[in-house]
């Protein structure tokens, strides 16, 4: 991890980005380093509800009576006004004995706003200070990776955070169970870390035992397992659904929506076979941008994405491999599946079918085995 190699307890430190987990790890390491260098220190956080930036700067500039080592912290620096940022810039020109200032900033959802542009200029000016005097100024940038790189982020950072390793396939399994929110992932990793032997690798069994047992499965996960014809995972999800609060109409609706999207993807692929081939079998020269653009077209055709939702193609289309799923079910398969779903839905609502676990498992078995059942008919 680059930040780890360049870690230095400089008087002024700027943390940027929305990867709050990595940011907190480095901040804690810096505080520990300051404590190791100087002994105990006092910490004070800027509270915008009770004081102004100017008041806080005055505290920083006021010498300590006992020459204490003091760490001051300002969060959400990007939200401050231009005047406040100018005041901080003036403070940065003159390092103060026994004072460390940690400045923390997030990101803008829209970098085109005037405030975002002013903030970008402020950061550029600060980075110029870092370049000219790295003994006084340092900057750490922590950008949350795109969803398709979260597993890589985990394999890189778990050794740094917990002193243990996690393989990429295990990282992807954890993401499947938890999602891509870094805070949620870190929380689950903490639980695993507390429950397995020191330095032991985080494997699939420990993830299933510690994360999987406490997690409520969702109907959309069942639909995806059916789409991939994963019988083992389907049965696991059904167990989870019936262990919580199974409601047949919601599950049937989720399955129908999923297979309707697969049907529409299949029809689009039939009309655009070259695009489908490029997604199904990308060549060596196939780049991520092209893949995302093609996946967006399939997502729009399926009714899952809008024209301007390129940033969502990975979690919605690429990660679950929806184009591959669509290829696994022919048009006549879809017709049978839609018929079975309608029959189960109407039957469970009218009392003709008891939507118990066995009946639901049979429905799911038929969906996964639709091709074999059709051949046997």
pLDDT in tens, 313-354: 888 898 889 999 999 999 999 999 999 999 999 999 998 999
The answer to whether residues 114 and 42 touch, using CB atoms and an 8 Å cutoff, is no
State pLDDT tens for residues 285-323.
667 788 889 999 999 999 999 988 888 888 889 888 999
How many CA atoms lie less than 13 Å away from 7 in the CB half-sphere?
Answer: 15
How far apart are the C-alpha atoms of 230 and 178, rounded to whole Å?
19
| Euclidean distance between CA atoms 211 and 184, whole angstroms | 11
Provide the pLDDT for residue 215: 61
Q: Is 272 exposed, middle or buried (0-12, 13-18, 19+ CB in 10 A)?
A: middle
- List phi, psi (to 5°) of 241: -65, -45
**CA 108 to chain CA centroid, nearest Å:** 17
When comparing pLDDT for 246 and 170, which is higher? 170
Contact yes or no for 96/11 (Cβ under 8 A) = yes
Chain centre to alpha carbon of residue 357 = 33
Name the least confident of 90-104, 149-163, 270-284, 297-311. Answer: 270-284
Mean pLDDT, range 5-18, rounded to an integer: 81
| Percent of the chain residues past pLDDT 90, beyond the cut | 53
Which pLDDT belongs to residue 268?
95
Q: Report the alpha-carbon distance of residue 280 to residue 338 in Å, rounded.
A: 25
Residue 114 class from Cβ within 10 Å (0-12 exposed, 13-18 middle, 19+ buried)?
Answer: exposed
Q: Is the pLDDT score of 3 beyond 60?
A: no
Residue 2, pLDDT score? 39
- pTM for the model stands at 0.61
Checking if the pLDDT of 4 tops 50, the result is no
The two tokens of residue 166 are 């996690």
- Please tell me the least confidently modeled range out of 168-172, 182-186, 325-329, 344-348: 182-186
> How far is the C-alpha of 51 from the C-alpha of 112, rounded, in Å?
30
Name residues whose C-beta falls within 8 Å of residue 180's C-beta, 6 or more positions apart in sequence. 147, 150, 315
Does residue 41 carry a pLDDT above 50? yes
């Amino acid at each position: 991890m680059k930040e780890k190699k360049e870690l230095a307890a400089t008087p002024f430190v700027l943390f940027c980005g929305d990867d709050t987990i990595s940011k907190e790890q480095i901040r804690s390491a810096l505080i520990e380093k300051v404590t190791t260098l100087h002994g105990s220190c006092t910490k004070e956080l800027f509270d915008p509800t009770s004081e102004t930036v100017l008041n806080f700067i005055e505290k920083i500039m006021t010498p300590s009576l006992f020459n204490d080592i003091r760490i001051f912290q300002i969060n959400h620096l990007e939200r401050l006004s231009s005047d406040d940022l100018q005041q901080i810039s003036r403070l940065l020109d003159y390092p103060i004995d026994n004072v460390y200032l940690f400045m923390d900033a997030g990101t803008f959802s829209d970098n085109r706003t005037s405030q975002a542009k002013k903030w970008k200029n402020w950061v550029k000016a600060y980075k110029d200070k870092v370049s000219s005097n790295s003994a006084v100024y340092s900057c750490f940038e922590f950008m949350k990776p795109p969803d398709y790189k979260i597993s890589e982020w985990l394999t890189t950072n778990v050794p740094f955070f917990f002193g243990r390793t996690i393989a990429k396939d295990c990282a992807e399994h954890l993401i499947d169970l938890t999602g891509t929110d870094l805070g949620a992932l870190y929380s689950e990793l903490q639980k695993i870390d507390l429950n397995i032997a020191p330095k032991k690798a985080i494997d699939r069994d420990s993830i299933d035992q510690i994360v999987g047992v406490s997690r409520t499965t969702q109907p959309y996960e069942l639909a995806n397992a059916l789409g991939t014809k994963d019988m083992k995972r389907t049965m696991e999800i059904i167990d989870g659904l019936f262990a919580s609060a199974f409601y047949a109409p919601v599950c049937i609706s989720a399955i129908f929506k999923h297979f309707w999207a697969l049907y529409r993807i299949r029809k689009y692929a039939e009309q655009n076979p070259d695009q489908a081939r490029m997604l199904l079998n990308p060549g060596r020269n196939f780049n991520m941008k092209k893949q995302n653009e093609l996946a967006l077209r399939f997502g729009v055709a399926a009714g899952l994405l809008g024209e301007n939702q390129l940033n969502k193609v990975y979690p919605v289309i690429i990660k679950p491999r929806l184009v591959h799923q669509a290829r696994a079910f022919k048009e006549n398969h879809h017709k049978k599946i839609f018929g079975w779903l309608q029959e189960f839905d109407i039957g469970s609502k009218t009392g003709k079918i008891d939507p118990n676990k066995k009946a639901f498992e049979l429905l799911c078995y038929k969906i996964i085995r639709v091709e074999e059942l059709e051949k046997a008919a």
